[in-house]
Chains A and B, each alone.
Chain A
Amino acid sequence: DAGITQSPRYKITETGRQVTLMCHQTWSHSYMFWYRQDLGHGLRLIYYSAAADITDKGEVPDGYVVSRSKTENFPLTLESATRSQTSVYFCASSGRGQETQYFGPGTRLLVL
């Protein structure tokens, strides 16, 4: 049982390019989340989704786009990458009525 996976694990891109980070979970969890982790800021919520086709902004949504056409997938797209988006990105999921979130292994993104 893979649980929650993220791909790619490492990504280097250039300013202005579009980048998509993938997140896949096998638990059929209703809720999925995207966080970024930066030194001095801990983890901050970018976007979350309560179900397929339902998404909402978190604390730091600017420059990011999400979609959720299938329950198990929650891709995060940087439409035009900037250096300030260099970070480690974590995806998480939780079941309906469950407060506990389960995290993926993370994607390290470097924007040059």
Chain B
Amino acid sequence: AQSVTQPDIHITVSEGASLELRCNYSYGATPYLFWYVQSPGQGLQLLLKYFSGDTLVQGIKGFEAEFKKSETSFHLTKPSAHMSDAAEYFCVVSAGGTSYGKLTFGQGTILTVHP
């Protein structure tokens, strides 16, 4: 069974600084990988996804993530944080195939942005 670990429960950055949210997964093959963002009291919005191909994935709001198979990682980065980025971020893995639709969520990382 697949699993996903987000080692940082809470990250604080200053506005304008770069940010990195870490994600490591466990799965026997190449999984489908997602990052979702949840603003307070809101649903989950898809930031980006990786299925195959180019390992550097561009998403919305200036975010990107790089799939590194050797490190089983899919870290989310942004070169310059904005106050509006403050939210909770979830790394998600799906095995696909016969496990279609069965997403496994990480515990989430809360991002705080200081002015």
Residue numbers of A with Cβ under 8 A of B are 31, 33, 40-45, 48, 50, 58, 90, 92, 94, 99-106
Contact = CB atoms under 8 A, between A and B. Distances in A.
B44 A100 contact: no
B105 A103 contact: no
27 contacts: A31-B101, A33-B101, A41-B107, A42-B105, A42-B108, A43-B44, A43-B103, A44-B105, A45-B103, A48-B101, A48-B102, A58-B102, A90-B43, A99-B51, A99-B94, A99-B100, A100-B34, A100-B46, A100-B49, A101-B101, A102-B46, A103-B36, A104-B43, A105-B42, A105-B43, A106-B42, A106-B43
Nearest to B32: A99
The contact size tier of chain B is: 20 to 34
A90 B108 CA distance: 16
Task: Name the prevailing secondary structure of the A interface residues.
Answer: strand
Interface string B83-108: 00000001000101000111101111
Contacts of A58: 102
B44 to A, nearest CB: 4
B43 A40 contact: no
Contact of A103 (B43, B96, B101): B43
B107 A40 contact: yes
A97 B45 CA distance: 20
Contacts of B94: 99
Contact of B90 (A40, A43, A50, A94): A43
A42 B106 CA distance: 6
Interface in B17-54: 32, 34, 36, 42-46, 49, 51
A71 to B, nearest CB: 15
A73 B30 CA distance: 33
Nearest to A3: B43
Of residues B43, B46, B106, which shows the largest number of chain A Cβ atoms within 10 Å of its Cβ? B43
Contacts of B43: 90, 103-106
